Structure 1
């Protein structure tokens, strides 16, 4: 029987394509809650007929998924977290076919990333006087997910 894994062990990154010749992956920091909904945007067709003897039948016609991240708005010495900054100030402003980008995620124990082509919807920010400022976003997958190997940088 397998052992449960920590929810805090997941890593989330967005691909920065502002320099297409050398895209860069930015980690999204300060995430404290996330949800992967593998049935979001699923569509079905009712296939029930008289031959179904009163029992419901269906076929899945469309699969979808969302990945929602929530956390804290992150800055260090006046500089925004690169992943959050890219989502808020670059990706979230794109429209039409330009609105698609890529996100990848994995647990620290895994040797493959799950990669989505997707759109992003920025979340709300806010907080009370004794709280940290919140931050979040939702990625909506477009098409099938892919995987890629985790590549570790050689030590200098």
Structure 2
């Protein structure tokens, strides 16, 4: 029997396209909730005919997905600036239009050894707060094309 995994174990990162000379992924920090809708933007074609003998039939013609993440607006205590992953989404990616509006997001649970990588567009979502709240931060990522998968490589291995 399998064991449930903790929701807080999910990791989300965005590819930093501001530095074209090297691959760099930025973690999105201070998340408090997330959702993944694997059927968003799915389109089907009904294929029911007399041969179906009264049973509905369809073919999936298009797949899609959306990831929505929410958290607290995060401040890097060393630089005094917004945390790098959130700042990249807000100040760089979300400001791009047309063919430049696509970038990559990757995600996985810390118990998994594969990243799921989407080419996606981003929609910056609501930020808010009240007198005794922390400022919220959120964004939605819409999948563009087929996802790909890459192994997770640890930065260092423990020695025996």
Q: Report the TM-score when normalising by structure 1.
A: 0.94
Partners of 1:113 and 1:66 lie apart in 2 by 16
Partners of 2:149 and 2:124 lie apart in 1 by 25
Partners of 1:109 and 1:60 lie apart in 2 by 31
Match of 1:133 in 2: 135
Match of 2:86 in 1: 84
Counterpart selection for 2:112 from 110, 116, 120:
110
Match of 2:73 in 1: 73
Shift of 1:55: 2.8
1:94 aligns to 2:89 (yes or no): no
Match of 2:61 in 1: 61
Structure 1 alignment gaps of length 5 or more: none
Match of 1:48 in 2: 48
* Superposed CA offset, 1:47-83 (max 9, x none): 1223333332211100000111011111133211110
* Structure 1 runs of 4+ with >3 Å offset: none
> What SS does the corresponding residue of 1:136 show, helix, strand or coil?
strand
Shift of 1:154: 3.4
Structure 2 alignment gaps of length 5 or more: none
* Superposed CA offset, 1:20-62 (max 9, x none): 1113100000111000110000000111223333332211100
> What SS does the corresponding residue of 1:40 show, helix, strand or coil?
coil
Partners of 2:23 and 2:140 lie apart in 1 by 22
Matched pairs, number = 155
Match of 1:19 in 2: 19
Partners of 2:46 and 2:123 lie apart in 1 by 31
1:39 aligns to 2:54 (yes or no): no
Q: Report the TM-score when normalising by structure 2.
A: 0.92
Shift of 1:118: 0.7
Partners of 2:35 and 2:58 lie apart in 1 by 27
Q: Which moved more, 1:52-61 or 1:102-111?
A: 52-61
